[in-house]
Amino acid sequence: MARRADRALGRAERIEHERRLAEAARRKQRLARLAGLVVSAAVVIVAVVVISASHNTSDVVRPGTRAAKADDARVDTLLAGIAESADNTLGASSAPVTVTEFGDLECSVCDDFALATTVSTSDGASGSGVEDQLISTYVRTGRARLVYRSLDTATSAAGERSEFPIQQAAALAAGLQQRAWYYIELFYNEQGQEGSGYVTESYLDGLAKQIPGLDYREWLSARHDPSLTAQVSSDETSASRQGLQATPSIVISGPKGRATPIQGVPSWSQLQSAIRSVS
């Protein structure tokens, strides 16, 4: 009788122990599911924040601010005193070497090429300093002239092809007043993240208002001239015929002919070597 009672008690204890184990397992599963939901929610929140940040245009440099004045001073130091013609050519027309840059103003690689090593690009890295050296060493001294031409790469990749002729025409309109390179360099200095939608009418207007000596009303009237968007299309056709598919693409010609085009950001020594080969 006592043995049966002991066995019954032992069975009841095992059942209770198993029940507790099962309850603990279920509790653990619930906690795991809850943790999964929290993590998923956190991932969604982070994604929303990242997406919102990438589309936030509130950090675009505004004319008259300290950041804008610093950009103005940097660009003016680079370009002041260098002749510019209405065909977007920087430097003396008599320069023996012509360096043609095919660019997309929203291209973060062009940004890298254009900016000084002391300036951060839109991706947060330091600029290459190569174009600054080109302008200071060759263009300012009359040994080369620098021409800007349009080639859409980054803008279409970001799904914003319709922006491309508009942004490029804005620079070409400044070129009609011999200020294209001021506009181009300011754009690169104040470039936002690709695909963030920062290139608005306000942004383009703001760049024009920062350029010293630019007649804003004249620029505003000229920038919608169909001949400018036609020039953009003509530039792209020229690039296609030359097999150029990247920005920046650098084409160098001189008394000894034409160097092999450089697609992407060249090193300073690579650019110098190409210039010497045609000089």
Q: One-letter amino acid identity for 235? A: D
Residue 164, token pair as written in the block: 């491309």
Predicted confidence at residue 276, as pLDDT, reads 98
Q: Tokens representing 62?
A: 């505004």
Q: In this structure, are residues 187 and 61 in contact, taking their beta carbons and an 8 Å threshold? A: no
The CATH number of domain 62-278, selected from 3.40.640.10, 3.90.180.10, 3.40.50.800, 3.40.30.10: 3.40.30.10
Q: Where are the alpha helices (DSSP H) in the chain?
A: 2-54, 66-79, 108-114, 130-134, 154-157, 163-175, 180-189, 201-210, 216-222, 226-241, 268-278
| Residue environment code for 50-89, b if the CB has 16+ CB neighbours within 10 A, otherwise e | eeeeeeeeeebbeeeeeebeebbebbbebbeebebeeebb
Q: What pLDDT sits at residue 20?
A: 54
Q: What is the DSSP string of 123-189?
A: TSSBP--HHHHHIIIIITTTSEEEEEEE--SHHHHTT-TTHHHHHHHHHHHHHTTT-HHHHHHHHHH
Predicted TM-score of the model (pTM): 0.78
Residue 275, pLDDT score = 98
* Rounded CA separation 76/222 (Å): 23
Q: Which residues of 134-163 are buried (b: 16+ CB within 10 A; e: fewer)?
A: bbeebbbeebbbbbbbbbbbbbeebebeeb
pLDDT at 92: 97
Length of the chain (residues): 279
Q: Which pLDDT value is given to residue 17? A: 43
What are the average pLDDT values for consecutive 10-residue runs of the chain, which has 279 residues? 44 46 47 43 35 43 83 96 95 97 96 95 93 98 98 85 92 97 97 88 95 96 96 97 96 98 97 98
Distant-in-sequence, close-in-space partners of 98: CB < 8 Å, separation ≥ 6 = 144, 145, 147, 252, 253, 254
**Region for 252 from its dihedrals, namely left if φ exceeds 0, alpha if ψ lies in -120 to 50, beta otherwise:** beta
Strand 89-90 vs strand 97-103: parallel, antiparallel, or unpaired?
unpaired
Query: Which tokens is 116 given?
Result: 């000084």
- Of 153, 167, 166, 172, nearest to 110 (Cα)? 153
Q: Say which DSSP state 255 is in.
A: T
